[in-house]
Amino acid sequence: MDLKLKIWRQKNQNTKGKFVTYPVSNISKDSSFLEMMDVLNESLIAKDEEPIAFDHDCREGICGCCSLYINGRPHGPDEKITVCQLHMRKFKDGETVVIEPWRARPFPVIKDLIVDRTAFDKIITEGGYISVNTGNAADASVIPISKEDADLSFDAAACIGCGACVAACKNASAMLFVSAKISQFALLPQGRIEAKQRVDSMISKMDELGFGSCTNTGACEAECPKGITLTNIARLNREFIKAKVG
């Protein structure tokens, strides 16, 4: 495959960025998108040009680092995947591919395609902890939990904090992310002790960091690589109301 890549280049968050066009040739349709980026960087290094900075770690769809906006979609033209799971067969030979970083004020550009997502870490930190007794591990059946609640909690905990929900939302809302982190505890009895403080603190921190309000359009759910659903936002709202009036 031969492609034309329009890639956002930006030295740091204090400098003005721009799109730069790079041609790539002989790309295998079976290679991953990040492997294609590796090929491009190797060619740039061979020409003594600065390689394109992009984030990655596990390359197995677990870490959420590879946060790229590709042809107008977070993580590119496929469903429920991260960029490292995107393959070049999703593109056409000769196609122009536009690659840019997440666009959200709470995610400032570090360099090129890398953004600072520590805002998510700050929200999680505000969530605090759950109270557990020290000593030997309790028997599994000591605290009865329904299969439905356990499954819903597990599904919410699948959130990898990649930021695709924020990138997809026209208001740069972090509601889907925060609701997943709230839900994974709110559905379990172990999370009830600090529930009121947790939801209040996390929402306050989310607002403080500059994330927008929920648009109710569902773009976040559509682009989430782990299939986190909008029902978690409804649960977050219920938890917040209970914290305020309870």
pLDDT at 238 over 80: yes
Which residues belong to CATH 3.10.20.30 in the chain? 3-110
Pairing state between β 109-111 and 96-100: unpaired
DSSP 108: -
pLDDT reported for residue 85: 97
Instruction: State the pLDDT confidence band at 74, using cuts at 50, 70 and 90.
Output: very high
Other Cβ atoms within 10 Å of 183 Cβ, number: 26
Instruction: State the pLDDT confidence band at 213, using cuts at 50, 70 and 90.
Output: very high
Q: pLDDT tens digits for 164-186?
A: 999 999 999 999 999 999 999 99
The listed CATH number (3.10.20.30, 3.40.50.12780, 3.60.20.40, 3.10.620.30) that belongs to domain 3-110: 3.10.20.30
pLDDT reported for residue 59: 94
CATH fold group of domain 117-131+144-245: Fumarate Reductase Iron-sulfur Protein; Chain B, domain 2 (1.10.1060)
Report the pLDDT averaged over residues 58-74.
Answer: 95
φ, ψ dihedrals at 197, nearest 5°: -65, -40
Sequence-ordered alpha helix ranges (H) in the chain: 33-46, 118-126, 147-157, 164-168, 175-186, 195-208, 219-223, 231-245
φ, ψ dihedrals at 95, nearest 5°: -70, 150
pLDDT reported for residue 150: 94
DSSP 137: P
Report the pLDDT averaged over residues 209-215.
Answer: 96
Which residues belong to CATH 1.10.1060.10 in the chain? 117-131+144-245
pLDDT at 137 over 80: no
